[in-house]
Amino acid sequence: MDISEKNTAALVAQKLLEIKAIRLQPENPFTWASGWKSPIYCDNRLSLSYPEIRTYIKNELALAISDNFPGVASIAGVATAGIPQGALLADTLGLPFIYVRSKPKGHGMENMIEGKVSPGQKVVVVEDLVSTGGSSLKAVDDLKKAGFDVLGMVAIFTYGFDLAKENFARAGVKLVCLSDYASLLPLAVAYDYVSENDLSTLEKWRSNPSTWSPL
């Protein structure tokens, strides 16, 4: 799991905080679909409503792909939040775009992958957010089963969980993110989104998110 560039990581985190795509509530945590309690909620889809930020993120993802995945021939978005980011990116790079469903379409062709399936084609997967990596790596597996040569994955933000690092390493998939939790925390304090006193609990959450409690 790599972060594309230190200055980019800080700037992306700052922009996401400014538009409230990232919210930090250590004393009033969110509940994720998994049941985990979390002091952070990240919804990068909000960036799509801000043209300047949307364009900046798109261009940085394009640079990350150019620097890390030469020979890419198509872009694959992960449903649902990776679809708009991936489509914007594919348009910028002048490449074909496909997207991967979380489960097969329930009617018609019952597709798992939407778009032209080209076995052997080199593809980079686009995610908006990586937590444990489970759904992201499932999309990679589905693309491989369809015959694609998956070069790796890019994402806007990651929490940087050890579990995610282990999952990507085990799968042999290179992940490059624009920003991460470690880049976010100092900015959140500097711009008064949280206090210095909150840092300890925020750092403890990232170390063990499945059992974390604000109490």
Domain presence at residue 94: yes
In a domain, 138, yes or no: yes
In a domain? residue 209: no
What rounded mean pLDDT belongs to the chain?
A: 94
Q: 155 near 129, Cβ under 8 Å?
A: yes
Query: In sequence order, what are the beta bridge partners of 175?
Result: 153
Peptide bond just before 132 cis, omega within 30 deg? no
Please report, as a single letter, which amino acid is at residue 102.
S
**Helix, strand, coil tally for the chain in percent (to 5):** 45, 20, 35
Residue 9: inside a domain = yes
Residues flagged as binding site for 5-phospho-alpha-D-ribose 1-diphosphate: 101, 105, 107, 127-135
| Structural domain contains residue 61 | yes
The binding site for orotate comprises: 131
Query: Measured in whole angstroms, how far is the alpha carbon of residue 11 from the centre of its chain?
Result: 16
Total residues found in the chain within this entry: 215
d(C-alpha 204, C-alpha 198), whole Å? 10
> How many domains does one find in the chain?
1
Each as own residue / partner, the long-range contacts of residues 48-54 (CB below 8 Å, 24 or more positions apart, any chain) are 48/84, 48/85, 49/19, 50/19, 53/15, 53/19, 54/88
- The answer to whether residue 189 scores a pLDDT higher than 70 is yes
pLDDT digits (tens, 9 = 90+) for 42-83: 999 999 999 999 999 999 999 999 999 999 999 999 999 999
In the chain, pLDDT over 70 holds for what percent of residues?
97
Q: Is residue 214 part of a domain?
A: no
Q: Per-residue confidence at 214, pLDDT binned at 50, 70, 90?
A: confident
Q: What is the mean pLDDT of residues 101-111?
A: 70
Q: What percent of the chain has pLDDT over 90?
A: 86
Determine how β-strand 113-114 pairs with β-strand 40-42: unpaired
- pLDDT over 70 (residue 110): no
C-beta of residue 143 within 8 angstroms of C-beta of residue 99 = no
Range of the domain at 116: 2-199
Give a yes or no: residue 208 inside a domain.
no
In a domain, 205, yes or no: no
Q: Is the pLDDT of residue 87 over 80?
A: yes
- Per residue in 196-211, pLDDT (tens digit) is 999 999 999 998 898 9
> Is the pLDDT confidence value at 106 over 80?
no
Whole-number pLDDT of residue 109: 54
Residues annotated in the binding site, as ranges?
101, 105, 107, 127-135
Residue 204 is which amino acid?
K
- Whether residue 108 has pLDDT greater than 70: no
Q: Which CATH number characterizes residue 177's domain?
A: 3.40.50.2020
